């Protein structure tokens, strides 16, 4: 058999292999486009409404993303239980919601850095028909820093774990049983894109947010057959006090814009970046870029931020030492 005959015999099988490959890619692309249209254009309709339960509970509800969740859920007709550390701020947000949306509000002042607060919260939630829980409260570093150089490291570890991890587990423990009994309810656990891969110099924060993501996806599989939706939410940068970003851009939205987009994904994605530009960024950094490069560039960015922060702090100390004050 010569080369020409061999190629002729292989022609038909190769044609069908190629055709199958092209057809598979086309079908995959069509599926992804339709899924994206369903999620980012059509959304979930009227899924999030007080039909799930009269009350929405939001932790970390006085600033940023948490406050925007409280406002959007109040706009949809939920009575809102606000939980945060400062009673004064809680009262301000509660009064604003009542005045603007004519909904009932309640508040619980609690420091999630402590582990002895949950009996008080449980008492405050007793008897409420809770349709939505937003586990939003969180804390990050003051500035990027190497692990062993973190000031007051022992207390830092305990505080960050209590706020970012224990709060999610404990609040879910308090609310989930009644949702499961009623076979309806939504739990939104606010993680972070920092939990999608290790982020050096924010290592503890990144690890706690990875926990929130894994915890959420595991519970979703456990309780989805009981009619409860548990969603892991992984935003990139949003204009908040925590990120210190002041000017919104396409990829750095305001909390209001982010929350409106994220709530449209509930019931459609169990793990979401919540906002279309963030979804593109998440796909790019997890599917196209090697993880080692993501870690390298994340570390490089945080080292630069650390250097800038320490330089500015030293300048302030020198100015204060020379008696120079700025109003």
Is 250 exposed, middle or buried, given 0-12, 13-18 or 19+ CB atoms closer than 10 A? exposed
What is the rounded CA–CA span in Å between residue 97 and residue 104? 8
What is the rounded CA–CA span in Å between residue 204 and residue 123? 31
Beta strands in 60-111 (DSSP E): 79-84, 105-109
Give me the residue label for tokens 């005959």. 5
Torsion angle, CA of 201/62/187/135, rounded to 10 degrees? 30
User: Nearest CA to 36 among 235, 198, 272?
Assistant: 272
Residue of 141, 143, 205, 275 marked catalytic: 205
- Inter-CA distances, 327 with 214, 241, 319, 324, Å: 46, 21, 13, 10
- Inter-CA distances, 245 with 68, 121, 295, Å: 16, 32, 22
What is the rounded CA–CA span in Å between residue 60 and residue 138? 7
Known catalytic residue: 31?
Answer: no
- Bridge partners, residue 272, by sequence: 233
By annotation, the residues acting in catalysis are 205
């Amino acid at each position: 058999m010569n080369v020409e005959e061999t190629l002729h015999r292989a022609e038909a099988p190769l044609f069908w292999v190629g055709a199958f490959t092209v057809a598979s890619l086309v079908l995959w692309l069509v599926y992804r486009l339709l899924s994206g249209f369903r999620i980012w254009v059509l959304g979930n309709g009227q899924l999030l409404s007080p039909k799930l339960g009269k009350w929405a509970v939001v932790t970390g509800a006085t600033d940023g993303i948490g406050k925007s969740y409280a406002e959007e859920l109040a706009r949809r007709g939920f009575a809102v239980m606000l939980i945060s550390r400062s009673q004064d701020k809680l009262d301000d947000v509660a009064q604003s919601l009542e005045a603007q949306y004519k909904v009932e509000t309640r508040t619980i002042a609690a420091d999630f850095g402590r582990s002895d607060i949950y009996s008080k919260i449980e008492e405050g939630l007793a008897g409420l028909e809770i349709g939505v829980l937003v586990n939003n409260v969180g804390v990050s570093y003051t500035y990027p820093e190497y692990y062993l150089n973190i000031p007051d490291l022992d207390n830092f570890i305990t505080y960050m774990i209590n706020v970012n991890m224990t709060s999610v587990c404990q609040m879910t423990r308090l609310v989930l049983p009644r949702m499961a009994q009623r076979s309806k309810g939504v739990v939104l656990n606010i993680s972070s894109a920092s939990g999608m891969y290790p982020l050096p110099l924010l290592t503890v924060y990144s690890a706690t947010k990875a926990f929130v993501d894994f915890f959420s996806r595991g519970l979703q599989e456990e309780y989805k057959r009981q009619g409860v939706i548990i969603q892991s939410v992984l935003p990139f940068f949003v204009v908040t006090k925590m990120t210190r970003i002041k000017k919104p851009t396409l990829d750095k939205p305001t909390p209001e814009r982010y929350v409106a987009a994220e709530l449209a994904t509930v019931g459609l994605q169990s793990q979401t970046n919540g906002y279309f530009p963030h979804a593109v960024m998440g796909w790019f950094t997890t599917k196209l870029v090697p993880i080692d490069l993501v870690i390298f560039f994340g570390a490089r960015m945080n080292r630069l931020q650390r250097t800038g922060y320490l330089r500015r702090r030293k300048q302030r100390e020198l100015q204060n030492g020379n008696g120079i004050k700025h109003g």
